[in-house]
Amino acid sequence: MKGAFLVEVSKRIKYNRKQKHYTLQELASRANVSKGLISQIENGRTIPSLSVLFNIIQSLEMDVSDFFNDLQTLEPTIIVQRKEDYEEFAKEDIKGYNYKRILTKNVPASTIDFVLLNISPGTYRQKVKTDAFEYKYILSGEVNYMINGNYYQLKEGDSLFFDGRLPHTPENTGKSPCTMLVVYFFSQT
């Protein structure tokens, strides 16, 4: 279990624990593990052994096949994340630090390029393709992204991840500039 798959399993454990109204300690006691281990698993900071994972699933009074039903092992090539859906998590017990997971994605060995892109109002360009996976985080303004024939409207705080080999183009139809952080993941194959 790696990357996004681990995060999905972690989310499912947390979601189902909360659905059952179990505290961390109650689930830990039922599964015969420590409260700290449950917390680390739910926050994606550790990978449980198979036997521990099965104990947790059974402690949630779930059938293993139901737990894994519809689990996405293959990720889509386009992922839109809305800022209200970013997952908060605790990395350490220090007040004043607020972590939000925006995106977890496995990519092959790659060169990573970080770029700030400003798009003026009314700006449009022809469809392009890049030889990279692309991650866009909207810092300010709004932008419409057309990717492979589908439109995605993004505003401040939203993010987008997609395979840049798909035909795509951003368009700023607003009245103010759009600024985004762009991360390109170029394959080294």
145 and 169 part of one domain: yes
Q: What per-residue confidence (pLDDT) applies to 32?
A: 94
Query: One-letter amino acid identity for 63?
Result: D
Which of 17, 40, 68 is a domain's end point?
Answer: 68
The pLDDT of residue 30 is above 90: yes
C-alpha to C-alpha distances, 44 to 26, 37, 64, 96, 101, nearest whole angstrom: 19, 11, 20, 21, 10
Q: What per-residue confidence (pLDDT) applies to 119?
A: 87
The pLDDT of residue 94 is above 80: no
98 and 151 part of one domain: yes
160 and 82 part of one domain: yes
For residue 11, what are the domain limits?
A: 3-68
Going through the chain in order, the beta strands assigned E by DSSP cover 78-81, 87-89, 99-101, 110-119, 132-140, 142-147, 150-155, 159-163, 168-171, 178-187
The pLDDT of residue 9 is above 50: yes
pLDDT band at 1 (very low <50, low <70, confident <90, very high): very low
Which of 2-11, 48-57, 154-163 is predicted least confidently?
Answer: 2-11
- CATH classification at residue 130: 2.60.120.10
Mean pLDDT of 92-121: 68
143 and 189 part of one domain: yes
Using a 10 angstrom Cβ sphere, with 0-12 exposed, 13-18 middle and 19 or more buried, the burial of residue 135 is: buried
- CATH classification at residue 33: 1.10.260.40
The pLDDT of residue 144 is above 80: yes
Mean pLDDT of 159-186: 88
55 and 94 part of one domain: no
154 and 96 part of one domain: yes
pLDDT, greater one: 83 or 148: 148
Query: One-letter amino acid identity for 122?
Result: G
26 and 103 part of one domain: no
Mean pLDDT of 111-134: 79
Using a 10 angstrom Cβ sphere, with 0-12 exposed, 13-18 middle and 19 or more buried, the burial of residue 180 is: buried
Rg (CA), the chain: 20
| Number of separate domains in the chain | 2
